[in-house]
């Protein structure tokens, strides 16, 4: 049984029965001595043999502690005792480390004894030796990680940077990019410009750029494969036309609801419409002939036709016997259905209006507004429900027309690519225009626009382009994304209908920013410094060989080996992730500490007794001599 367990039992027996009274468990080392003596093995005769025996006994003690823990856990699990099972599992943790700690603890105590150390010194050395295999590596790792990243805040920030990099591109950052440490970033920049390290650092930068380009391409393909500005412009035009058709459908439905409260043949006045028609073709006082050149013939025809229809209606509505003479004072009225259809026709003229139209859109709008007011008067006269229905339909119509007018500046172009350019102009100042466009289109059209914009964010500048024109630059991606206002980002990426797109784009921007901050080698370097360093190294090696200076030759040859190893260390994904891990104590710390305390505590009294016996023996020898 392990010393950690028997020590507790023996302490309990001492407290209840008194020290030295009754049965006590032997320590593992004592039991091991008895077994070896019983087997006829010779007693150790010198310091080395005694220390080796101590180490063997310590290893046996460590193994017995782990075995006792495993047995305790199994028995507790069978008995349904979770607390005891947890204790057993803790004692059984890291059995190999427990054996090593038992050996180092016993060995340290034995070496101290053989060098004349007293009982207390042996106990302290035994405790330190037992804890060293778990505490020293922990302290060393904690010190290295602390120097790299700082405290817990630095660790959390480093872990967040690594997670962002991996989620956005599927790759890991370098140590300098992950920590944000200027010193490490400077070292990486230096390694990128010296023989041995430059190749590794450059390849790492290229791999990151390719991974970032691949991530952007995957997003654009998921949104709309092979998206172009021309396709996006056509999608905008198509989407706005679909919005326009939808407005007409909703308008018809809303206004048809009004038919429930106003019968089609209900007479209604059109006084506002008459006034507007008259004002639209008003003559110039004192210059009737010149006025004719500024009057719109079609509006004039509509005004006259409306007057004729009102006259017919007035005569039809006059009392019997008066219609033939025209002697009536009743105002002319038209059926509700006729006015409603007239307004629909005027609305269609507004929607279909072009620069070649014979009536300016402003005149159609004025006529449309006058007809709407006349219809509103009819709805008010029909009761509160009719008025509410009218107000709802009129409010929708007004806002829809306003949006369509705003979209005209975008879609009234002679080429799809010009439409796309107009829609994405002014993204740095705000997202009002692009938000209007995106809200007016179906999801599939929105995604085409977003894909085209996303694809252009990372397109390298002309001086850095390849022959195909598809070279990617994380620096350009970051610059273009930073120049885009938050509202424009929300409209383009958040309003694309693609779940999580805005977050993914933000992560890509963070990766590009880390690459910019991390090292100039990842920002399209010119290579001048690298070429100079290579020439300098080659010249130094040549000089050393020419002079036969062995030290100089060794230094020149060792430089690429050292820089290569350093570059591999700073770009290793495993090393970068390990640096961001939480400093965790070895699982063997608990059982090792318990075993060491129990073993060394029991040994203290034995060592005191052994020291007293040795002193008595020395005195007896001196007395006889």
Write the DSSP string, 144-194: HHHHHH-SHHHHHHHHHHHHHHHHHHSS---HHHHH--HHHHHHHHHHTTS
Residue 45, CB-side half-sphere exposure with 13 Å CA sphere: 2
Are the CB atoms for 212 and 168 separated by under 8 Å?
yes
For residue 412, name the pLDDT band (cuts at 50, 70, 90): confident
**Selected residue with higher pLDDT from 326 and 257:** 257
**Selected residue with higher pLDDT from 190 and 568:** 568
390 has a pLDDT exceeding 70: yes
| pLDDT given at position 380 | 93
For residue 327, name the pLDDT band (cuts at 50, 70, 90): very low
| pLDDT given at position 524 | 44
| pLDDT given at position 123 | 72
Q: Which helix (H) or strand (E) holds 613?
A: helix 589-624
Percent of the chain with pLDDT over 70: 70
Helix, strand, coil share (%) of the chain residues, nearest 5:
75, 0, 25
Q: Does residue 267 sit in helix, strand or coil?
A: strand
C-alpha span between 141 and 581 (Å, rounded): 10
Which of 87-101, 113-127, 138-152, 368-382 is predicted least confidently? Answer: 87-101
Q: Is 514 exposed, middle or buried (0-12, 13-18, 19+ CB in 10 A)?
A: buried
Write the pLDDT tens digit of every residue in 492-520.
Answer: 999 888 999 999 999 999 999 988 887 55
From 198, 236, 185, select the one nearest 527 (Cα to Cα).
198
Are the CB atoms for 163 and 172 separated by under 8 Å?
no
| pLDDT given at position 448 | 92
31 has a pLDDT exceeding 80: no
Average pLDDT on 231-238 reads: 92
Q: Does residue 499 sit in helix, strand or coil?
A: coil
Distances (CA, A) of 31 to 26, 319, 592, 609: 6, 133, 20, 18
Q: Which residue has the tokens 């964010």?
A: 457
Domain ranges of the chain: 3-148+588-624, 266-382
Distances (CA, A) of 550 to 526, 542, 544, 553: 35, 12, 7, 5
Q: How many CB atoms lie within 10 A of CB 539?
A: 11
Average pLDDT on 475-497 reads: 91
For residue 336, name the pLDDT band (cuts at 50, 70, 90): very high
Are the CB atoms for 445 and 501 separated by under 8 Å?
no
Q: Which residues of 300-322 are buried (b: 16+ CB within 10 A; e: fewer)?
A: eebbeebeeebeebbbeebeeee
Percent of the chain with pLDDT over 90: 24
For residue 328, name the pLDDT band (cuts at 50, 70, 90): very low
Q: Which two tokens stand for residue 81?
A: 């005792």
Question: How far apart, in Å, do the first and last CA atoms of the chain sit?
Answer: 45
Write the pLDDT tens digit of every residue in 175-211.
Answer: 888 888 888 888 888 888 788 888 888 899 889 989 9
231 has a pLDDT exceeding 70: yes
For residue 351, name the pLDDT band (cuts at 50, 70, 90): confident
| pLDDT given at position 216 | 92
Which of 48-52, 137-141, 528-532 is predicted least confidently? Answer: 528-532
C-alpha span between 590 and 97 (Å, rounded): 11
Are the CB atoms for 193 and 530 separated by under 8 Å?
yes
6 has a pLDDT exceeding 60: no
Identify which of 106-110, 214-218, 296-300 has the greatest average pLDDT: 214-218
For residue 540, name the pLDDT band (cuts at 50, 70, 90): low
606 has a pLDDT exceeding 50: yes
Beta-carbon contacts of residue 423 (< 8 Å; ≥ 6 apart): 232, 233, 236, 410, 433, 434, 437, 449
**Selected residue with higher pLDDT from 483 and 354:** 483
50 has a pLDDT exceeding 90: no
151 has a pLDDT exceeding 90: no
| pLDDT given at position 526 | 52
Q: Which two tokens stand for residue 488?
A: 């424009």
Which of 75-84, 262-271, 292-301, 433-442 is predicted least confidently? Answer: 75-84
500: left (phi over 0), alpha (psi -120 to 50) or beta: left
The mean pLDDT of the chain is: 78
C-alpha span between 92 and 85 (Å, rounded): 10
**Selected residue with higher pLDDT from 377 and 88:** 377
Average pLDDT on 220-238 reads: 90
For residue 615, name the pLDDT band (cuts at 50, 70, 90): low
400 has a pLDDT exceeding 90: no
Which of 278-282, 492-496, 549-553 is predicted least confidently? Answer: 549-553
Which of 210-219, 332-341, 528-537 is predicted least confidently? Answer: 528-537
For residue 598, name the pLDDT band (cuts at 50, 70, 90): low
């Amino acid at each position: 049984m392990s010393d950690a367990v028997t020590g507790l039992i023996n302490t309990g027996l001492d407290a209840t029965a008194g020290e030295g009274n009754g049965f006590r468990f032997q320590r593992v080392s004592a039991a091991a001595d008895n077994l070896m003596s019983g087997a006829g093995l010779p007693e150790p005769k010198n310091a080395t043999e005694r220390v080796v025996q101590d180490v063997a006994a310590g290893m046996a003690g460590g193994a017995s502690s782990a075995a006792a823990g495993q047995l305790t856990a199994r028995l507790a699990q069978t008995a349904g005792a979770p607390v005891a099972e947890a204790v057993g599992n803790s004692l059984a943790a890291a059995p190999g480390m427990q054996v090593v700690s038992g050996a180092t603890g016993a060995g340290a105590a034995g070496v101290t004894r053989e060098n004349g150390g007293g009982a207390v010194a042996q106990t302290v050395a035994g405790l330190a030796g037992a804890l060293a295999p778990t505490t020293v590596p922990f302290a060393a790792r904690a010190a290295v990680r602390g120097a790299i990243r700082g405290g817990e805040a630095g660790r959390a920030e480093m872990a967040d940077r690594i997670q962002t990099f991996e989620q956005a591109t599927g790759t890991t950052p370098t140590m300098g990019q992950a920590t944000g440490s200027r010193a490490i970033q400077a070292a990486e920049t230096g390694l990128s410009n010296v023989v041995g390290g430059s190749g590794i650092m450059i390849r790492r930068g290229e791999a990151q750029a390719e991974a970032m380009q691949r991530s952007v391409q995957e997003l654009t393909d998921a949104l709309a494969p092979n998206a172009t500005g021309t396709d996006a412009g056509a999608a905008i035009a198509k989407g706005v036309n679909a919005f326009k058709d939808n407005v007409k459908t909703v308008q018809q439905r809303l206004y048809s609801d009004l038919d429930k409260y106003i019968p089609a043949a209900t007479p209604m006045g059109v006084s506002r419409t008459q006034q507007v028609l008259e004002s639209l073709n008003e003559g110039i006082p004192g210059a009737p002939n010149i006025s004719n050149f500024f009057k719109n013939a079609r509006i004039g025809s509509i005004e006259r036709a409306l007057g004729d229809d009102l006259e017919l209606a007035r005569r039809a509505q006059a009392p019997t016997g008066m219609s033939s003479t025209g002697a009536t004072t009743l105002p002319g009225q038209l059926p509700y259905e006729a006015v409603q259809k007239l307004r629909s026709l005027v609305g269609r003229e507004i929607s279909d209006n072009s620069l070649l139209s014979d009536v300016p859109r402003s005149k159609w709008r004025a006529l449309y507004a006058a007809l709407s007011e006349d219809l509103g008067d009819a709805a008010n006269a029909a009761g509160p429900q009719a008025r509410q229905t009218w107000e709802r339909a009129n409010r929708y119509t007004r806002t829809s027309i306003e949006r369509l007018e705003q979209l005209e500046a975008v879609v009234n172009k002679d080429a799809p690519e010009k439409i796309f350019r107009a829609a994405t102009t002014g993204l740095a100042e705000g997202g009002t225009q692009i938000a209007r466009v995106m809200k007016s289109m179906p999801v599939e059209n929105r995604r085409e626009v977003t894909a085209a914009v996303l694809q252009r964010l990372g397109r390298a500048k002309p001086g850095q382009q390849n022959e195909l024109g598809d070279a990617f630059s994380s620096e350009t991606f970051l610059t273009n994304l930073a120049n885009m206002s938050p509202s424009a980002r929300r409209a383009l990426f958040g309003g694309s209908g693609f779940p999580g797109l805005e977050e993914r784009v933000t992560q890509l921007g963070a990766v590009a920013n880390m690459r910019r901050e991390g090292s100039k080698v990842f920002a399209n370097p010119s290579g001048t410094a690298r070429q100079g360093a290579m020439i300098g190294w080659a010249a130094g090696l040549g000089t050393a060989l020419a002079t036969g200076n062995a030290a100089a030759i060794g230094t020149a040859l060792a430089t690429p080996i050292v820089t290569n190893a350093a570059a591999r260390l700073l770009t290793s994904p495993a090393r970068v992730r390990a640096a961001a891990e939480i400093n965790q104590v070895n699982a063997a710390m608990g059982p090792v500490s318990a075993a060491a305390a129990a073993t060394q505590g029991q040994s203290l009294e034995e060592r005191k007794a052994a020291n007293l016996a040795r002193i008595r023996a020395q005195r007896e020898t001196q007395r006889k001599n």
